[in-house]
Structure 1
């Protein structure tokens, strides 16, 4: 068997695999927007991956971790498709069997997801059928190449078939990209939404909160720049008109809240800085926004939790769960909300549209459930959340931290007076002091901007003297209770990274 025939067979197999995937994604975009073969397989990989692997992906790729996973899945799929093509060339039906096996994996993955439904499974079955039919057809044309009397004609037929299939695949990819972005109905509903005016507006930002130090992160993080860390490979597409939230579990009065009922509630607007527990010291998995929503404590009060309950297990439409202390959600001094707005606009789809939770003072893995659909009042002893079953803590209070934004690590600066600046946070406790240290010298007080509230980060700046040479600059913060940020170095797992953020600069 000639080398060029094997090359054609491998190419035909890879193209068949791509065609099958795109068929599944396109159909799912129309019939099952929140669950497709690729998102199901990706979700299964995320669930089964050991915590160190997930942490590595987040630290290495940040908010592009999902893109990385999709690329890996695509490479594996192309490889399997190429192998299937070669097997089909060697023996009719062998490659098709591999395509069927790939389809079974997709179907099984869909069946294990919380969003599983008949339409999603049908989409996966059709995707497998497309892949099987295409690989059998294309490889059959290649086999005709081995017959001298058919060689010229079969080669032309095969090349035309490959070109035509590739064109259809390219067109399908373009259509799929549009359809899979966000379902048209949900996108239209979001665009048409006009947020209600808050009954309690956010505190105006004091002029002294902004220090205008070049290079320092802005107080408000634009929606387009806000970090995104969640377990959803494909952003769930939730129609607000059919959305509802159920309060269940250890309650005297189960509650079901609809979208229209939520819009009619007296909403409050608050600036809150949220952070991911995977944020490294000095990392950027943190952001501050103006959130609009209804206080969760009012909803909890309606349900009347029973004695002994100490946790609320929130559930996302995609099955993700988070464990939040009941006392935090019930605390009148904590503005935990069911958020529908972010920086003056409806929540972006990737940040939880139509409804998500925002809880000041807790890392997102135990509080900031996106696309939330259920609140189960329960106990820490009886239930565990998604990350708690994977070795992370059940409770996640945000630790006092600070970061140097300017100058950047490794920067070259002019010797003499150098402006250093950044942000510090200790959500729900506030920041009372920030200090910087050059090399192993004394801690020097920094200028601290006025806080928007104790639930947001603060800007800080300091002028330091640097002689020519290499220097290390470190920062630490003190929270509103007087507790100083710890110098003990700890990784993000299981409950948040600690240690001082330090940078190195060259002064000349």
Structure 2
């Protein structure tokens, strides 16, 4: 009987420890996430993701996007959170086992766990992911980084101790008392839930607002000439996008220049500005995808800042560094080109953090990945600098492919024989513009020219429309193609977004029925 009681007690101890470990790890994670959202210290999960994602082959990266779409990074984040909670549970089980094997006070064991976690983080984990010993190389600085981690680990240890003291009837609460133990455990569960809800709700709400998610669905319906800020596509390398404090932000212009300098946002906004309509498209946009938008941007020409800095001979690229550690570059000749803008407003409002506030780059003819957001540094370099995505194999030139889309009617729309309708869509080829758009309803045997609507701007998408009357019942495939202003035709051969942008004709299938059917 004593043996059975011992086994039951050990199982109960493991179960109790697991529960307390998971609850304590939840408090630790909430502390780390709060540090990320309000101070900017990357969580251990993000550090691991930052290390892993650039090392993925493009094919595997594309497969992940194909399987999970724009939710790939949030799913990765959730999986990592669950694994962290599981690890916390295992630590809690070990903690409970140590309590039962030794006479040490709970707070002493918890303090030991805390010290070990701090040392492992500072000496092993952070250096392994490029942050230096005790976070010395972190963008937030070693002191701030370690302070956030240390507070999180103290929360973990303190919660373990509180759980143990309140639930252990052999502890300071007096002699063995089963009814008191049950009462305290129930109270602890309720109190823990209330506390986590009160503390965690605002943190989770801000986290959900900050998580970077990309809508990879196919586009339908004609867009407005200027995409509303709230629906303008957003893509980044991050799990959680940075929120930069405009009041303390500075832009540094340096490198191979005669006169390096820094500007605050107010100083930048005081410079002569330009307003321009400009379309952005992500290089990950599939054929017919919606990772494209057009806005009216306000900013300062990049050439003006480079002229002020006085570029030295031998400069090849202008390197851009962002608040989130993202890097990229554009050739010097592109940086000096008319239309290359450092933008701080979109559609009449200051940039939102999702779109790169306080400052992002706009470059004619180049996919969005090189139009860096959250810029903090502009550096003239004497090399062809390869940025974050280029080191993974994505195109370093990244010139826009010619794109055309059918937006109306939507795929699988039911139409009627003999009833005319308007087929509408958009086309885009960067600064090269669009010369013609053609569509076919017979598999490409005949192509009909569509009407182009007036241009919105030199670097903007172009809307088109054509009247079409279906003349026979059945499934009909509508396809579209475009020719740019330089006379180049859109590529018919299908290619995935990686490494140079998707190609192929966009098509939809509609169902044509007899009248009255």
Structure 1 partner of 2:394 = 392
Q: Does residue 348 of the first structure (1) align with residue 352 of the second (2)?
A: yes
CA 327–91 in structure 1, closer or farther in 2 if over 3 Å, else same: same
1:326 is aligned to 2:332: yes
* 1:412–1:458 distance in 2 versus 1, CA, 3 Å: same
Match of 2:146 among 116, 121, 126: 121
Contact 2:110 2:161 in 1 (8 A): no
**In 2, Cα distance between equivalents of 1:256 and 1:101:** 39
Query: SS of 2:262's equivalent?
Result: strand
Counterparts in 2 of 1:102 and 1:462: CA distance versus 1, 3 Å: farther
- What per-residue deviation string (whole Å, max 9, x for no partner) do you get for residues 194-226 of structure 1? xxxxxxxxxxxxxxxxxxxx9212221100001
Change (3 A) 1:436 1:26: same
2:245 pairs, out of 239, 247, 251, with 239
The residue aligned with 2:407 is 405
Task: Work out the CA distance in 2 between the residues paired with 1:50 and 1:8.
Answer: 43
Partner of 2:374: 371
1:132-211 map, 5 Å: 132-138=157-163, 149-177=176-204
Counterpart position of 1:77: 84
Corresponding pairs, count: 473
CA–CA separation in structure 2 for the residues paired with 1:226 and 1:99? 46
3-state SS of 1:291 partner = strand
Partner of 2:453: 449
Moved more, 428-437 or 243-252: 243-252
Question: What is the rounded CA distance, in whole Å, between the counterparts of 2:296 and 2:483 in structure 1?
Answer: 24
Q: 1:475 aligns with which of 472, 477, 480?
A: 480
Indicate conservation of the 8 Å contact 1:273/1:286, yes or no. yes
Aligned residue runs from structure 1 range 235-314, under 5 A: 235-314=241-320
Shift, 1:172, TM fit: 1.1
Partner of 1:23: 31
3-state SS of the aligned residue for 1:11? helix
Which ranges in structure 2 are unaligned for 5 or more consecutive residues?
1-6, 100-108, 211-219
Shift of the alpha carbon at 1:403?
Answer: 1.3
**3-state SS in 1 of match to 2:431:** coil
Tell me by how many angstroms 1:434 deviates: 0.8
Q: Does residue 428 of structure 2 align to residue 425 of structure 1?
A: yes
Q: Distance in 2 between matches of 1:60 and 1:273?
A: 28
Describe the shift of the 1:347–1:477 C-alpha distance in structure 2 as closer, same or farther (beyond 3 A): same
Q: Secondary structure at the match of 1:283?
A: coil
- Residue 376 of structure 1 deviates from its aligned partner by 1.3
Determine the structure 2 residue equivalent to 1:198. none
Displacement of 1:182: 9.3
Aligned residue for 1:14?
22
2 CA distance for matches of 1:100 and 1:159? 31
Identify the residue that residue 222 of structure 2 maps to in structure 1: 216
* Alpha-carbon shift at residue 474 of structure 1 (Å): 1.2
Structure 2 CA distance for aligned equivalents of residues 91 and 408 of structure 1? 64
Q: By how many angstroms is 1:324 displaced?
A: 0.9
CA shift digits 1:327-348 (9 cap, x unpaired): 11112xx311111100000001
Deviates more, 1:8-17 or 1:487-496: 8-17
Conserved? CA contact 2:440–2:448, under 8 Å? yes
Indicate conservation of the 8 Å contact 1:103/1:125, yes or no.
Answer: no
In structure 2, do the counterparts of structure 1 residues 252 and 159 end up closer, same or farther at CA, with 3 Å as the change threshold? same
Asked if the contact 1:33/1:180 (under 8 Å) is kept, the reply is: no
Give me the whole-angstrom Cα distance separating, in 2, the residues matched to 1:148 and 1:469: 83
Kept after mapping to 2: 8 A contact 1:250/1:309: yes
Q: Which residue of 1 aligns with 2:235?
A: 229
Inter-CA distance 464–182: structure 2 relative to 1 (3 Å threshold): closer
CA gap 1:275/1:102 in 2 versus in 1, 3 angstroms: farther
Deviations 1:415-452 (A, max 9, x none): 34343221110010001111112242311111211111
Between structure 1 and structure 2, the one with the greater Rg is 2
Change in Cα spacing, 1:153 to 1:473, as seen in structure 2 (3 Å) is same
Is the 1:426–1:454 Cα contact (8 Å) retained in structure 2? no
Asked if structure 2 preserves the Cα contact closer than 8 Å seen for 1:262 and 1:294, the reply is yes
C-alpha spacing 1:287/1:58, structure 2 compared with 1 (3 Å): farther
- Tell me the residue number matched to 1:200: none
Structure 1 residues 88 and 39, CA gap change in structure 2 (3 angstroms): same
- Conserved? CA contact 1:43–1:233, under 8 Å: no
When the two chains are superposed, the root-mean-square deviation of aligned CA atoms in Å is: 3.2
Q: Tell me, which stretches of 5 or more residues in structure 1 are unaligned? A: 184-213
SS at match of 2:432: coil
TM-score (norm 2): 0.82
CA distance in 2, matches of 1:284, 1:347: 21
Q: Contact 2:13–2:93 (CA<8 Å) still a contact in 1?
A: no
Q: 1:498 aligns with which of 497, 503, 510?
A: 503
Q: 1:99 to 1:393 in 2, by over 3 A?
A: farther
Contact 2:25–2:85, Cα closer than 8 Å, also in 1: yes
Question: Cα distance 1:266–1:94, how it changes in 2: closer, same or farther (>3 A)?
Answer: closer
SS at match of 2:272: coil
